[in-house]
Amino acid sequence: MLSLVSRICVLSAALIGLAVPCVYAAPRVVATIKPVHSLAASILEGVTEPDLLLKGAASPHAYALKPSSAKTIGDADAIIRASPNLEVFLDKAIRTLPASARIISLEQAPGLVLLPVRDGGEHPGDSEDREQGGADVHFWLDPLNAIAIARFLDQQFSQMDPDHAAQYHANARKLELKLSALDAELKEELAGLSDRPFVVFHDVTQYFEKRYGLNGLGAITLSPERAPGAKRLAAVRARIEQAKAICVFSEPEFPSKLLETVTIGTNAKRGVLDEVGAAIPPGPDQYFALMRANAESLSACLKSER
């Protein structure tokens, strides 16, 4: 079936009696965060490049939409986000979009494994610090979920733009092979670390932990938008001491002073993990660089002596 653009092009050529090749317009795609943008860029490679909303060290947890970004969204044929529960800054802009705009929420990808938000138990703390219920939105930090996302984006783009469907299919197959190889690589990198406990700034590593058998004790805060209370900090510090945590990991988007508070006087080392790859240039390779960087940071810190 020809798309609307294709039909117009063929009809125009027929009317003027010329056998000229038609150039089909590619969809205008906007992605929110770097990992989402990277996977989308891989599927769109050879057709077009998606725009990225959150550049540099911007965090989806504390982002305010700029006028220039609002215009970019308004001009888009498709907006790709991880989850409406993550990129909440999009809500107002989405309500003003025309009905023709496609909102692609990756948490709806068939085959995606979603884990519930953790609270209590492994993640002790003040009740006001807990995010109750719902799914953990950091699902891209499992390469098998990234494969499900690749297939979903292939399907979405092919529906929008059937003229380039063959290219999208080929790109998706290529990306799946690369993601499978990445998964095998990370398994080898992180093997043997299941007995090495660690703490993170906020709970972004659940998918990484489950996939590679890591021993995350909990998070300093479950909601990075607000500082944890004194009771929670005391509980985390006690957890670090009792479990003899090897490492406590900060994030580049947030201040590291809290790490000093919970690690001072303990033997825990400090490292850095990044949910979005703030310092990594955007593009098709960004996702792979992000995952490798996190694996290397975990491996280097957890393999060190207490």
Instruction: Quickly tell me which residue has 């519930």 as its tokens.
Output: 116
pLDDT at 32: 96
Q: Work out the burial of residue 71: count CB atoms within 10 Å of its CB; fewer than 13 is exposed, 13-18 middle, 19 or more buried.
A: exposed
pLDDT at 24: 62
pLDDT at 124: 40
Q: Taken in order 116, 118, 119, 120, is the CA torsion positive or negative?
A: positive
First to last CA, the chain: 63
pLDDT at 98: 87
**Token pair belonging to 171:** 């790109």
Strands 51-52 and 29-31, by their bridges, are: parallel
Angular region, 213: left φ>0, alpha ψ -120 to 50, beta rest: left
Superfamily of domain 185-302: Nitrogenase molybdenum iron protein domain (3.40.50.1980)
- pLDDT, averaged per 10 consecutive residues of the chain (306 residues), comes to 43 49 78 97 98 85 82 93 93 88 96 86 38 79 98 98 98 98 98 94 92 92 71 81 89 73 83 92 97 97 80
Alpha-carbon distance values, 29 to 53, 104, 155, 173 (Å): 11, 10, 14, 20
Sketch the domain layout of the chain as residue ranges: 185-302
